[in-house]
Amino acid sequence: MLKSKFNIKDSTLKIVLLKKNLITPFKIKSTMTQEKEESDIPSPRREIEKLIEKGDLKGLLYKAAELHGHLCPYLAYGVMAGYTAIKELKIKSRGMEEVIAIVETNSCFTDGIQFVTGCTFGNNALIFRDIGKTAVTVAKRDGTAIRLVLNPEFEETRMKEYPEAYRLWNKIVVKREKATEEEHEKMMKLFAEISLKELSQPINKVFKITHLKIKVPEYAPIFKSVICSICGEKVMEPKARIKDGKPVCIDCAKEEHYILDGKGISIKREPFTL
């Protein structure tokens, strides 16, 4: 069936053009069937997958920094942990919760994890346990999992290894003291250099690694939406409240809700409007 509709000239031309990166598969018009066209849609994660295959940690770190915005050591640790988990579990992530990552911190580390594992805040494959450890457990649906936690003995040696970077970090980030533009730039440059260096650290020195079996969280449920009777905005049904017999959103009901910010998860009552 497929063969009879397949135009040899079209396909040969297409392969040549694809190899030369002159066209993208989405733009191809040919006589091939719909199924054939769909199979040509490349995985959006193909570049990341190639880097994982090659063991190109530097490439992965740079890609992760596209999301994170800067290069820093904890982003590098996240990349290293994500890469190790993917390799050890022999998995590919399509961002459909077939692989999940359970992180224990909302820091730079988590962006490295999100990028390399493909388990993100938005695709529900990222689970956040707010316990403040630089650690991640990556699991398959059958519960086979690997947990990597940053080794405190290793972490403590970093300040001694890179005193200038940590002095600047303490001044600019921890104490929020006034710093010159040069100091800012120096800190970012040092952190970028450190992040690249750290990639060559032996993984067993950086992390304590355990293989385990876990009870994998259920797939994310799909909820109905309702319209808030006060502001008119759409809201997930389980998040809505009932006022005078009508649904209202949490903000209009002035109820408490959880927020996730730099401090982790906490309860807040008011929206952020002034």
Q: What is the spatial distance between Cα 90 and Cα 142, in angstroms, rounded to a whole number?
A: 13
Nearer to Zn ion among residue 23 and residue 242 (C-beta): 242
Nearest distance from residue 152's CB to Zn ion, in Å?
A: 20
Nearest distance from residue 248's CB to Zn ion, in Å?
A: 6
Nearer to Zn ion among residue 83 and residue 109 (C-beta): 109
Q: Where are the alpha helices (H) located in 162-259, listed in sequence order?
A: 163-169, 181-198, 203-206, 250-253
Q: Would you give the DSSP letter of residue 219?
A: P
Nearer to Zn ion among residue 75 and residue 81 (C-beta): 75
Half-sphere exposure of 141 (CA within 13 A, CB side): 8
Instruction: Enumerate binding residues for Zn ion (CB under 5 A).
Output: 72, 75, 108, 228, 230-231, 249, 252
Nearest distance from residue 168's CB to Zn ion, in Å?
A: 14
Nearer to Zn ion among residue 74 and residue 207 (C-beta): 74
Nearer to Zn ion among residue 108 and residue 138 (C-beta): 108
Nearest distance from residue 4's CB to Zn ion, in Å?
A: 55
Nearest distance from residue 24's CB to Zn ion, in Å?
A: 32
Q: Token pair of 174, please?
A: 């921890």
Sign of the torsion formed by the C-alpha atoms of 184, 189, 195 and 197:
negative
Contacts of 97 (CB under 8 A, 6+ apart): 123, 124, 125, 141, 219, 220
Instruction: Name the strand (E) or helix (H) holding 137.
Output: strand 135-140
Tokens 């969280």 belong to which residue?
Answer: 217
Nearest distance from residue 230's CB to Zn ion, in Å?
A: 5
Nearer to Zn ion among residue 149 and residue 230 (C-beta): 230
Nearer to Zn ion among residue 18 and residue 230 (C-beta): 230
- CA-to-CA separations, 21 to 5, 16, 24, 118, in angstroms, rounded: 25, 9, 7, 25
Q: In terms of DSSP bridges, do strands 246-248 and 234-236 run parallel, antiparallel, or are they unpaired?
A: unpaired
Neighbours of 189 (CB within 10 A): 13
Tokens 């040069």 belong to which residue?
Answer: 182
Nearest distance from residue 87's CB to Zn ion, in Å?
A: 23
